[in-house]
A and B are shown apart, each in its own frame.
Chain A
Amino acid sequence: MNRFALFAIPLAVFAVIVAFLFAGLGLNPREVPSPFIGKPAPAFQLAQLHAPERAFTQKDLLGQVWLLNVWASWCISCRDEHPLLVEFARTKAAPLVGLNYKDKPEEAKAWLKRFGDPYQLSVSDRDGRVGIDYGVYGVPETFVIDRAGVIRYKHIGPITPEALERKILPLVRELQKS
């Protein structure tokens, strides 16, 4: 083996490992690819937060493109994204439904009163079973659901202005056209 190869081979291997590790630094391990993309939104029927005697199911919005936002009053990062959701609701770009996850209805209502209520309606998932059916593991999470009731996108963690402008809004507009 000549001298060049003696240095070049380990150096090349090292460079490849560094490249992989460096790329890994930029990945967020919290963002697990969702198995729900392209699948029908799981069925549920829950009581509405503000009108517990009335139920809501995912079928009620068939024919519309809508957003399902998982939130809770105990969730700190929900507060971060909340102004954006209020802003989004004002534009009336698409119906926004809140899935109030493992929360006490009184606290949830007080929270909405304090920070504003962007939701067309919220439903109470008190024991988190619907959350499990939707694979929720880090509140807040937001699902984009198309006219046929198929999940097209899932955003994990608080929505950022960039995610809303670059990903969610363009997708909603595109889905509304079809």
Chain B
Amino acid sequence: MTRLLVALLLAAAALPAFAKDAQPTDQDPVAAGRAVRLAEQLRCLVCQNQSIAESNAELAVDLRRQISEQIAAGRSDGEIVDFMVQRYGDFVLYRPPFKAATLLLWLGPALLLLAGLWALARALRRRGRAPDERPLSEAERARAARLLGGEPPG
């Protein structure tokens, strides 16, 4: 009985050896790397905070297949990205193109930084100037002299 149990346990322990590794979708590692890099740059429109590479939405699976097929067909990365933009618009790009409509998007942070630097410089200049802006009155001058224990100057 114990022998049978041990044999069964051993057989069970060996089960993972029969498990298959996930089949690579592409045989060529260079092409597969390109496909992943492209998929990472493209936004999945179904779950919009994930890239096509990360998403398990059916559309993402289909688009990954599209990318692999197009790589196999010898298309360049630019052509594949264009294919996606033609169909889904600039929205699919995680890195939006620099054009009139996206000017504020690209330059906004720099503008904000410049505005902040300007405000900071202004504030610092004011603060540096503030103490000696108002001349001392006669009474203050006399008091300062008294405290310093000398004759009032001038």
A: which residues have CB within 8 A of B?
A: 1, 29-30, 32-35, 102, 127-128, 132-135, 137-138
Q: How far is the CA of A132 from the CA of B85 in the complex (A)?
A: 11
Residues B91 and A133 in contact, CB atoms below 8 Å apart: no
Chain B residues in 8 Å Cβ range of A132: 62-63, 66, 87
Residues B62 and A32 in contact, CB atoms below 8 Å apart: no
B18-75 residues with Cβ-Cβ distance < 8 A to A are 45-46, 48, 58-59, 62-63, 66
- Chain B residue total in the interface (Cβ 8 A): 16
B: which residues have CB within 8 A of A?
A: 45-46, 48, 58-59, 62-63, 66, 85-89, 91, 123, 126
Main secondary structure of the interface of A (DSSP, over half): loop
For A35, give its contact among B58, B87, B126 (CB under 8 Å).
B87
Q: How far is the CA of A93 from the CA of B98 in the complex (A)?
A: 42
Known: A35-B86, A102-B58. 8 other contacts (CB 8 A): A35-B85, A128-B58, A128-B59, A128-B62, A132-B62, A135-B88, A137-B46, A138-B46
Chain A residues in 8 Å Cβ range of B66: 132
Q: How far is the CA of A163 from the CA of B48 in the complex (A)?
A: 24
